[in-house]
Chain A
């Protein structure tokens, strides 16, 4: 769901070994240029493999951590229907994380290794989830803005060159569209509600607008690896292109809701036919990415605690399976009625 341009840990991609690898690499690039899909056991440059492992696992981590800010409001959802919808949405996010971990595992890394990277703080995930959900309106804003931005990022990846990743993204995109609609519908209900509810909605927009724009990652001029990722058809549009598209689509939606975008410099550029926004505070983005956001600690702590607390459970399941390789669990209850 949340594939920011987080390709690097600040490292350069592994350079190819000269000689023999060059002809493999040429054939590989030819396949990519012809829109052929690369599958798990195919030859691929080591840098391609590593870039994908990093990008897919970061995407997966984002989905998993993303369950927490919204999960925060499940027990307090204001109607039973909203509660059920929110549970289903958060469940989808967990599922998306799993599709992506599955795709990454085809490249030679295990789920355990990836989880270790996340929980130790070594791996990155989308910065947007380090912001707190302070009111019910935040749930609407996340669905509308964050999922909206994610969809924009994700649809192009459905055509990425690596088969398992592309297929996982197709699945994810199909499920994602209800996520954005439920968020927008919440905002609509609030803006058509009481004075307090309208204020709640505006407050949420004020806090989630800029972080949503930052989800697309820094300007491509500042992003080292865009060119290579584009050549390998892992990345298909630039950060700026996607961000602009998101802005042009979302501003009219905010107007429809009767809400004000928190940007004094926002204006319509008649010549270019685009909305122009004020300057983005990239220092906040980098600080949050480095770990100083409002909830970075809490998010990782929550996942660590769940992992630690669940250790005895996972071990027990393995111990039981080892002792009963033939299967000794009680039969499912039959379909007969009493």
Chain B
């Protein structure tokens, strides 16, 4: 019973105009057009979205959790990137 699977696609939905696309899961499809239809049938039966993206799972590049420390820790001590780091006297407006 070995047969080639339809490729896996990841599905992203924009639920409302103004919001970003969010990852909701995956579907299998033979081609991109079918992937849109399958994503629509599986993930938007309750008016969950106004826009769909489907991406072949094989095309997604993910950061390696093993490198999470090197990738994300260094930002931890650069608090000067956050507005709360700066003490501005209360009388000064619009800053």
Contacts and interface: CB of A to CB of B under 8 A. Distances in A.
A binds B: yes
Interface of A: 39, 41-43, 88, 91-92, 95, 98-99, 102-103, 105, 110-112, 116, 119-120, 168, 171, 175, 311, 314-315, 317-318, 320-321, 324, 327, 329
Contact of A95 (B6, B28, B34, B42): B42
Interface in B19-71: 24-28, 30-34, 42, 45-46, 62, 64-65
Contacts of B1: 116, 119-120
B6 A317 contact: yes
A112 B27 CA distance: 13
Most chain B beta-carbon contacts within 10 A, residue among A92, A116, A321: A321
B77 interface: no
Contacts of A103: 25
Nearest to A39: B65
A102 B25 contact: yes
A327 to B, nearest CB: 7
Contact of A105 (B26, B30, B33): B26
A274 to B, nearest CB: 36
A314 B8 contact: no
Interface centre among B25, B34, B42 (most CB of A within 10 A): B25
Contacts of A317: 6, 30-31, 34
Contacts of A105: 8, 26
B73 interface: no
Contact of B33 (A314, A318, A329): A329
Size class of the contact patch on chain B: 20 to 34
Contacts of B34: 317
A42 B46 CA distance: 32
Nearest to A315: B3
A176 to B, nearest CB: 13
A318 B27 CA distance: 15
Nearest to B32: A327
Contacts of A110: 5
Nearest to A112: B5
Contact of A314 (B3, B26, B31, B62): B3
A42 B65 contact: yes
B94 interface: no
A162 to B, nearest CB: 14
8 contacts: A39-B65, A98-B27, A102-B25, A103-B25, A105-B8, A105-B26, A318-B30, A320-B30
B84 interface: no
A43 B65 CA distance: 8
A111 B31 contact: no
A111 B28 contact: yes
B65 A99 contact: no
Given A99-B42, A315-B3, A318-B4, 8 more contacts: A91-B45, A102-B25, A116-B1, A171-B25, A175-B46, A314-B6, A320-B31, A327-B31
